[in-house]
Amino acid sequence: MTTADERVVVGFDQHSTEYKAGFPEIGHPMRARCPVVWSEENGGYWIVTGRELIGQLAKRPDLLSNDHDPTGKRRGYGGVAIPAPVGGSTRGGFLEMDPPEQLDFRRVLNPFLSPAAVERWRPMVAELSAACLDEVVESGEVDFVDDVANIVPAVLTMGLLGLPLDDWVHYCEPAHATVYTPPQSPDHPRVMEMAMQMAFRLAGELERIKVEPRPGMIRALVDAQGDDPATFNDEDLVGTLLLLIGGGFDTTTALTSHALHWLDSRPDERRRLLDEVGLLDTATEEFVRFATPAQGGGRTVTTDCEIGGHRFGEGDRLWMAYALVNHDPEAFPDPDEIVLDRFPNRHAAFGLGVHRCIGSNLARMSFKTMLTEVLRRLPDYRVREDGIVRYEDIGTINGYQHLPATFTPGARQGPPLDEVVAAWQRTLDAETV
């Protein structure tokens, strides 16, 4: 039981270099003292590190709000980023909403992202993955981030949204750079400018799809706006598109990079993943658990309350530290080891409760497809450790900017990437008629 006076106070900031260097072990001493601790950093906030407690908290969206209300129309809450973004004036789509509004958005988008819906995209993802590898296979050199893991999820996201597949290039750098560039970086102003251009571009696409409907998620949101213009207003639609691009691009890239890096020195595990039926499925959950690409999410306490024996006050900020929860030894034996056949695996890497990652099925499918293709086509790849660049700040997304590798060159097996993208564009356009 913690009270305002008894709270366990730690020095903690998920955006710090100490966090990046200490993850995941950094959570253990905190968790050993209390499954929820308090830090004075970032304006003061709770950090939830226990698997049992986070499950209880996630079931109370009435007490823990995701709302982001920078203009003070409601209660002025700070949304899911801790600290709240400087100068951020819009909320991040339905992730920064509470039920019932949040559920209205998800009801529109869920049919695009269910396991059944996602299966329909598997052939495109497989061809894109193969084409990305064809582009590098003759050279013997690859950057798994720039050449594969940045491209496939990005093109796929364009397809789902109903945007031209080629346009992924306009969103790629801002989608990643806004996540890995901390506010104190000299590059921050340029990245913010890119982010603004991205928002303008999406607002333009939204207007275009209102008059020239193309099937996809944007069209579905526009149709929902017709029925309920107050909930599905333009501002929240653009916020939602930015959320879908951020979630669609950056997280799967991070997951794929982590897995390929871990497999670098483990040729036997690479072979097992290709040969053992079912291992890829459990391994995917294990890589997601271990790396937790989306490290956590902020909440605001809506009323003085007690949950799981811990007291919280109205307005308190709280960080659902999925990444640290996923290394709780009470729930995961040997939590800091990757065990490819770990199952059951009650990880919280896709979040818990009503905000469960809406793209989790898409992420699994594209991750498995990319990983399998790399293991098949570049079986002897070795990562160039000196060329690895991790995100400067992993507190939002635990990602890689670069993961270069060398391998024995091979022969192309299919057409160039731009031809594959163009062919899929024709296929999608034909489906629309």
Partner 1 sequence: MRVTVDPDVCQGHTLCALAAPGVFLLREDDGHSYVAGPEVLPEVEEAVRKAAATCPEGAISLEE
Q: Using CB under 8 A as the criterion, which residues of the chain lie in contact with partner 1 when the complex forms?
A: 55, 58-59, 106-107, 110-111, 113-117, 281-282, 285, 343-348, 350, 352-354, 356, 360-361
- Cα 158–160–161 angle (5° rounding)? 65
| Residues 374/148, Cβ–Cβ less than 8 Å | yes
| Residues 388/404, Cβ–Cβ less than 8 Å | yes
- How is residue 62 written in tokens? 């009435």
Using the minimum distance from each CB to partner 1, give the nearer residue, 122 or 266.
122
- How is residue 125 written in tokens? 């993802």
Least gap, CB of 360 to partner 1 (angstroms) = 7
d(CA 374, CA 193): 35
297-336: burial string, b at 16+ Cβ within 10 Å, e else:
bbbbbbeebebbebbbeeebbbbbbbbbbbbbeebbeebe
Using the minimum distance from each CB to partner 1, give the nearer residue, 60 or 412.
60
Q: How far is CA 241 from the centre of its chain?
A: 14
Least gap, CB of 87 to partner 1 (angstroms) = 33
Using the minimum distance from each CB to partner 1, give the nearer residue, 226 or 344.
344
Least gap, CB of 386 to partner 1 (angstroms) = 38
Least gap, CB of 287 to partner 1 (angstroms) = 14
Using the minimum distance from each CB to partner 1, give the nearer residue, 345 or 425.
345
Using the minimum distance from each CB to partner 1, give the nearer residue, 33 or 122.
122
Least gap, CB of 107 to partner 1 (angstroms) = 8
Least gap, CB of 361 to partner 1 (angstroms) = 6
Q: How far is CA 15 from the centre of its chain?
A: 16
* Position 17, amino acid: T
Using the minimum distance from each CB to partner 1, give the nearer residue, 110 or 408.
110
| Residues 39/47, Cβ–Cβ less than 8 Å | yes
